[in-house]
Amino acid sequence: MPVPRTSPFAVLGMLSLGTLSGYEIRRELAANVGAFWGESYGQIYPALRELSRKGFARRHAARRPGGPERHVYEITSKGREALRRWLADPPHPTPPRNELLLKLFFSDRDAVDQPAAWVRGLLAEETEKLRQIRRMKEQLPRGPHHHRSLRFWMMTLEYVERQSEATVAWCQRTISTLDLMQEAQARRRTAAQRRSPLE
Amino acid sequence: MPVPRTSPFAVLGMLSLGTLSGYEIRRELAANVGAFWGESYGQIYPALRELSRKGFARRHAARRPGGPERHVYEITSKGREALRRWLADPPHPTPPRNELLLKLFFSDRDAVDQPAAWVRGLLAEETEKLRQIRRMKEQLPRGPHHHRSLRFWMMTLEYVERQSEATVAWCQRTISTLDLMQEAQARRRTAAQRRSPLE
DNA sequence: CCATACATGTAAAGGGTTACATGATTAA
DNA sequence: TTAATCATGTAACCCTTTACATGTATGG
């Protein structure tokens, strides 16, 4: 069965929005789709070579005066066609992998402290993420942007916003449940101590 | 830097809830944590060998009369200790990978049909998933269960329920936006046709 | 002087899925 | 007879991250 090979198309997609260097692709991917698609240098540079080899992008030297070595990649019409074909076939779902939930599932009611700390950590991160998403949603319509359709961009932002809201709500609810469990655990401990006092 | 190595612990976690065969571990993982943690045979059987080698589980022949070859694995006290240690250290977040959103982000406003079809598909899947989660949430408290804490189980169910609800709501909203875009696209086409009629 | 941003890349190592091979039993 | 369920396992092949190597320019 043919493998996904998604990373080169993530890169090609970015090139369809503008001529960029590998470094810039990384930065733009992180800023625009980072909330639902992660890509590292270890993927991007090999992908750029592959795209050049296949004639989907052309490489140009683009060193800026007084700057470090630099190359930008420009999408070709063949590349646009390949991107169009890739966009046309259905997306492959990624199997879910949430280690926090897995640990929570196997947790022991006599060790509630750690899960509680993680959920608090997640709440902090997710609250911050939500703030950023909302800021982006506000600022996006104003100012110039090179995206070919603001509508699609907004849709992806709305998706991560809703997921993020759901996560925040769950964290809050879960923290109070864990706090109750922690109190119950403390009561069990004192009760056990009364039965077999150590001092 | 040490790599996650989560899969063996997912297996060990299941063994901490009961003595199971590889096949049963697969089935139970899919049924209980499948919504947030996927595991394939290609991970489970090697993991069981590794757990045996490390003394975290003991393998017993357990062929049932008139049944196929079968082995069950029993967690050892060393295994319980290892699980406890694993549970104690913080979970590693998995980088997000949502190909549907990535394609949506790079979509062209002149080809709205396909994204619309995918989102409709996602809505159907997610609605069904939500139904199942809610059924589980109802049935879980009744009837015997071997889990060591219903509370933790419920937390994970609530997480996937909230995420699922958010996804369903997003799908509905997004479908209507895409429908509007499709109409606009049709209008653009007829307008273009009026300017340069083919017949 | 030091940290950070810009900038390009490679290598190792491991994670993970899919597909395949094999075979018994049972129910339609 | 055929499909489905139970059951174990391997191998190929990718995907992916992390760490490393290297160097310039800028701002504090």
Higher pLDDT, A3 or A145: A145
Q: What is the mean pLDDT of residues B77-84?
A: 96
Residue B199 has pLDDT above 90, yes or no: no
Q: What is the pTM of this model?
A: 0.93
Higher pLDDT, A85 or A193: A85
Residue with tokens 């960029």, as numbered in its chain: A20
A103 → chain B, closest CA residue: B87
A159 → chain B, closest CA residue: B170
Pick from B16, B38, B93: CB nearest A106: B16
Q: What is the pLDDT of residue B62?
A: 87
Average pLDDT for chain A: 91
- Phi and psi torsions of A97, nearest 5°: -150, 95
pLDDT digits (tens, 9 = 90+) for B159-182: 999 999 999 999 999 999 999 999
Residue with tokens 């699609």, as numbered in its chain: A152
Element (H, E) at A61: strand A57-61
Candidates B35, B37, B36; CA nearest to B132 is: B35
Bridge pairing between strands B71-75 and B20-21: antiparallel
Q: What is the mean pLDDT of residues B5-12?
A: 94
- For the CA of B56 and the C1' of D20, the distance in angstroms is 35
Q: How much of chain A exceeds pLDDT 70, in percent?
A: 95
In the DSSP assignment, the letter for residue B90 is: P
Q: Is B59 helix (H, G, I), strand (E, B) or coil?
A: strand
Residue A125 has pLDDT above 90, yes or no: yes
Higher pLDDT, A4 or B195: B195
Q: Is A55 helix (H, G, I), strand (E, B) or coil?
A: coil
Q: What is the mean pLDDT of residues A157-165?
A: 97
Q: Are A22 and A45 in contact (CB under 8 A)?
A: yes
B159 → chain A, closest CA residue: A170
Q: How many other CB atoms sit within 10 Å of the CB of residue B106?
A: 24
At residue B149 the predicted structure's pLDDT band, cuts being 50, 70 and 90, is confident
At residue B9 the predicted structure's pLDDT band, cuts being 50, 70 and 90, is very high
- Contact list in B for residue A83 (CB cut-off 8 A) is 106
C-alpha pair distances (Å), B126 with each of A109, B28, B62, B122, B179: 31, 21, 38, 6, 20
Q: What is the mean pLDDT of residues A80-109?
A: 93
Average pLDDT for chain B: 91
Sequence-distant (6+) residues with CB within 8 A of B86 are A103, B9, B12
- For the CA of A16 and the C1' of C27, the distance in angstroms is 56
Residue with tokens 């104690």, as numbered in its chain: B88
Tokens, residue A21: 């260097």
Q: Which nucleotides of D are covered by protein (CB under 7 A)?
A: 6-20, 23-26
Separation in Å, CA of B124 to nearest CA in chain A: 14
Q: Is A75 helix (H, G, I), strand (E, B) or coil?
A: strand
Please, is A105 exposed, middle or buried when counting C-beta atoms within 10 Å of its C-beta (0-12, 13-18, 19+)? Answer: buried
Bridge partners (DSSP) listed for residue B21: B72
Bridge pairing between strands A71-75 and A57-61: antiparallel
First-to-last C-alpha distance (Å) of chain A: 68
Q: How much of chain B exceeds pLDDT 70, in percent?
A: 95
Is the four-CA dihedral B101, B106, B110, B111 of positive or negative sign?
negative
Q: Is B33 helix (H, G, I), strand (E, B) or coil?
A: coil
B143 CB-to-strand C distance under 7 Å? no
Q: Are A57 and A12 in contact (CB under 8 A)?
A: yes
Please, is A74 exposed, middle or buried when counting C-beta atoms within 10 Å of its C-beta (0-12, 13-18, 19+)? Answer: middle
Q: How much of chain A exceeds pLDDT 90, in percent?
A: 77
Residue B2 has pLDDT above 50, yes or no: no
Q: Which amino acid is at A56?
A: F
Q: Are A16 and B106 in contact (CB under 8 A)?
A: yes
Q: What is the mean pLDDT of residues B13-39?
A: 95
Q: What is the mean pLDDT of residues A37-51?
A: 94
Residue at minimal CA–C1' distance from C20?
B42
At residue B141 the predicted structure's pLDDT band, cuts being 50, 70 and 90, is confident
- For the CA of B26 and the C1' of C5, the distance in angstroms is 47
Residue B146 has pLDDT above 70, yes or no: no
Q: What is the pLDDT of residue A67?
A: 76
At residue A4 the predicted structure's pLDDT band, cuts being 50, 70 and 90, is low
Q: What is the pLDDT of residue B1?
A: 42
Q: What is the pLDDT of residue A121?
A: 94
| Max intra-chain CA distance, chain B | 82
At residue A2 the predicted structure's pLDDT band, cuts being 50, 70 and 90, is very low
Q: Are A122 and A114 in contact (CB under 8 A)?
A: no
Element (H, E) at A58: strand A57-61
Q: What is the pLDDT of residue B46?
A: 94
Report the C-alpha gap between A71 and B26 in whole angstroms: 48
Separation in Å, CA of A67 to nearest CA in chain B: 31
Bridge partners (DSSP) listed for residue B73: B20, B59
Report the C-alpha gap between A109 and B1 in whole angstroms: 31
